[in-house]
Structure 1
């Protein structure tokens, strides 16, 4: 039997990729809208284009980094919100009972949940749509979305530009703090939720840095507002200089990407707690700012460190 030819066959265009007339887009070609999807999966779909994905949905929102932390890894926390228009009391909550998007309390207070299952492409628009529905709902109602919210304001458009004051809670007893529960049945239902809530604390000396204990391990997770490329370069400089540890025995293990920002993560020795991290966090923040301001070329060691850090990223949103 003769050997198979090693000459590559002439490329032939799949008929589905051909265009019939000048300017026509084939179903397997990139969609002209710039989404990066094939035309047949975007504007050429019979169901219409999928929801527009916003890579950094909370940009410009006061407390953006804390909002991301509460949405992604802080089990139990709240923060009061101030509306641009109106005087309704609104509280931003990490998680609500049954992962409800919003609850209208009997006194008219609105609890707005961050850890929800909406997947319509822009969490900020989703939250704004839920908030608008809650503002029009009756006391006692649970509010959410079943369909894409469509065009409309985003959370940045509805809230006043005021700092976010976050309170981290031990468990979820605040869910029922004002509920009359003579039999104890409501509080008993909290036991499972409380058992699943890892102890957490927000550092007071820096923005959006949260200590937690998960089983026998402790971690610090710190959502940072900087441009990703610039932050990676600065972290590489600190790593190469041996300045990326917080306390003795701690270890910078990588970072995750959520809603357009990076959150570096440190493993901590058991028993560290949150309080002793305050001063080291301030020192690290100062070193990071100096590294961010350094415009010199990276050394060979720093380039190697940067490549290593880039391989230790996990995108969760």
Structure 2
């Protein structure tokens, strides 16, 4: 079952202090042996579907795991006219930063973190909202109990993803950033950091005919990686029915390589003939979605061939954490 933890600590009136300091509750114990235990438990507890409840959950997962350069505007519950966006990655793997023009970015692809990326992102977002324009928000320790994205965002606002050719969105429109950002980049300069990141980016296109499907070219190969929202067990049954019927492709010459599990969702991956391109996959992806819907609606027990296909899919399944 998905885990959706409460956003607040069990003792919100007890402030956080250093682990070896006396607990503010007056127990006479060190904080780490008293109310700090709850914070420690929260920091390691795995939330299997951290983006559950947010509009566009499959796209949140895709931006976190497979898309190199993309952004999407966010609507806060209490935002005023503040511009806020989620980004796949930011310079130096910062959790967040405020461009010189005041636009706040919070990053999905970061190093480390707790067992709840939603809580980590919320903590970074709150820090960024308090920061001055032109200020990077560097990594810090695990955030402990507190609000999650689901508490801060308008969860009904659609996630409108823009995939970029590179990381030029790091730079304000006027082409300059604050000295604090340049200094945090250890003298490299933001333009140089953008050029270096662009050189390593995988060409990627988000399909428009279906949700959360991303074509990419990796060297001499093309792939389609598609985050699907359905329950894993039902989805495996549906994919198995299509595989047994020889209908699990997304166009001529394509092959379903397998699936990986990320943040509670399955992401099937197809190999596509080199030179196909994203546009040529659009209609085939929509047709596959219709076949999958029909397979998911079937109430018939799996046949022997379908059970074999299901076992094959499960045998090549990976889990990303």
> Does TM, scored on the shorter chain, surpass 0.5?
yes
1:186 to partner: Cα distance: 4.3
1:163 to partner: Cα distance: 0.6
Runs of 5+ unmatched residues, structure 1: 1-44
Change (3 A) 1:190 1:108: closer
Which of 143, 152, 161 is residue 146 of structure 2 equivalent to? 152
Task: Pick 1 or 2: higher relative contact order, CA cutoff 8 A, min separation 6.
Answer: 2
Change (3 A) 1:174 1:127: same
- Aligned pairs for 1:262-281 within 5 A: 262-281=266-285
- The match for 2:176 is 180
- The match for 2:185 is none
- The match for 2:48 is 55
Q: Return the alpha-carbon distance in structure 1 between the equivalents of residues 201 and 313 of structure 2.
A: 29
212-221 vs 287-296, which moves further = 287-296
Runs of 5+ unmatched residues, structure 2: 1-36, 178-187
Q: Return the alpha-carbon distance in structure 2 between the equivalents of residues 139 and 206 of structure 1.
A: 37
On the 8 A contact 1:118/1:126 being kept in 2, the answer is no
- Provide, for residues 245-274 of structure 1, a one-character-per-residue CA deviation record: whole Å limited to 9, x for no partner: 111111110011100100000000000111
- The match for 2:12 is none
1:144 to partner: Cα distance: 4.2
Which of 287, 292, 295 is residue 296 of structure 2 equivalent to? 292
Q: Return the alpha-carbon distance in structure 2 between the equivalents of residues 48 and 167 of structure 1.
A: 36
Q: Return the alpha-carbon distance in structure 1 between the equivalents of residues 311 and 135 of structure 2.
A: 50
Q: Return the alpha-carbon distance in structure 2 between the equivalents of residues 119 and 48 of structure 1.
A: 13
1:148 to partner: Cα distance: 2.1
When the two structures are aligned, how many residues end up with a matched partner?
Answer: 270
On the 8 A contact 2:100/2:176 being kept in 1, the answer is no
1:106 to partner: Cα distance: 2.1
1:300 to partner: Cα distance: 0.4
* Alignment root-mean-square deviation, CA: 1.8
1:48 to partner: Cα distance: 5.7
- The match for 2:104 is 110
SS in 2 for 1:108: coil
- Provide, for residues 212-250 of structure 1, a one-character-per-residue CA deviation record: whole Å limited to 9, x for no partner: 000010000000001101000000000001110111111
TM-score by length of 2: 0.80
